[in-house]
Structure 1
């Protein structure tokens, strides 16, 4: 495949996104992020497409907790610059917050707020992953 040719995709051949909204993040190392999210959040990678250079990821689709997240490496020349994530938190609605929190912390997430019952009655925690993305987990009150 030439350096300038992107892979051709058969319409309808990619896994469908799950959920009503999908976050699509440009990261410094999408391959490492995918590996980390699989370890920390139990994600399952369903698609990985490499750039013709064979190194950078142009599209990576993960299923996490019955939803979808998509990743790619930064491509500043195509309007997708690498900028530190800011002003958002990805929140996972979970049934067993203690297990989800432990897995993420053990994988290397920085603990921002440990699991605790919050003023609104739910159990909640906040973490930051090694790529600078803020995550929260919320378990509804019984």
Structure 2
């Protein structure tokens, strides 16, 4: 049997999150985002060498910090410039669920100029997530006009 270059069920880009406590992160993602655990490979000390969860239709990989391999968490780095985006059917309910699970609100859910209803939060492990429901399809011209209006410029 020939292996597929991209395994079934995976997308071309799969986030790989490094956490100070990957087992606790998996539990949080289960509570906050209804994640389904697919795989957890534990090190002899009980730490997570590699884990995989599903959020919606997307795989997310994660592991504990391993500084000797230069795998460090956002907490060790003082934050992360990377943000993850989840599209879902009901952003308001999902956002509340994540906050109730322990996420910190960065930006409340509200309608955005680009056609999404979205809000941003930070999980207890330092990763930033934007949750959104797409509510309006816009053409490139409409999007440009809304953006220019937001920037205080006269759309032409």
- TM bucket normalised to smaller: 0.7 to 0.9
Pairing 1:36–2:31 present: no
- Using structure 1 for the length normalisation, give the TM-score: 0.82
Report what 2:105 is aligned to: 111
Report what 1:60 is aligned to: 51
Pairing 1:19–2:22 present: no
Pairing 1:76–2:67 present: yes
Across the two proteins, how many residue pairs are aligned to each other?
Answer: 129
User: Taking structure 1 as reference, are residues 100 and 17 closer, same or farther at Cα in structure 2, changes over 3 Å only?
Assistant: same
CA RMSD of aligned residues (A): 2.0
- Using structure 2 for the length normalisation, give the TM-score: 0.75
Between the aligned partners of 2:29 and 2:10, the Cα distance in structure 1 is 17
Structure ID, larger Rg: 2
CA displacement, residues 114-141 of structure 1 (integer Å, 9 cap, x when unaligned): 1111122320110111111100012112
Report what 2:115 is aligned to: 121
Query: Given that residues 18 and 63 in structure 1 are in contact (C-alpha distance below 8 angstroms), is that contact kept between their aligned partners in structure 2?
Result: no
Between the aligned partners of 2:12 and 2:90, the Cα distance in structure 1 is 22
Between the aligned partners of 1:121 and 1:80, the Cα distance in structure 2 is 36
Q: What SS does the corresponding residue of 2:114 show, helix, strand or coil? A: coil
Query: Given that residues 27 and 72 in structure 1 are in contact (C-alpha distance below 8 angstroms), is that contact kept between their aligned partners in structure 2?
Result: yes
CA displacement, residues 25-59 of structure 1 (integer Å, 9 cap, x when unaligned): 11100000000000000000010000123x11101
Q: What SS does the corresponding residue of 1:104 show, helix, strand or coil? A: helix
Between the aligned partners of 1:108 and 1:102, the Cα distance in structure 2 is 10
Kindly report structure 1 stretches of 4+ aligned residues shifted beyond 6 Å. Answer: none
Between the aligned partners of 2:85 and 2:113, the Cα distance in structure 1 is 17
Unaligned 5+ runs, structure 2: 137-156
Q: CA deviation at 1:68?
A: 0.8
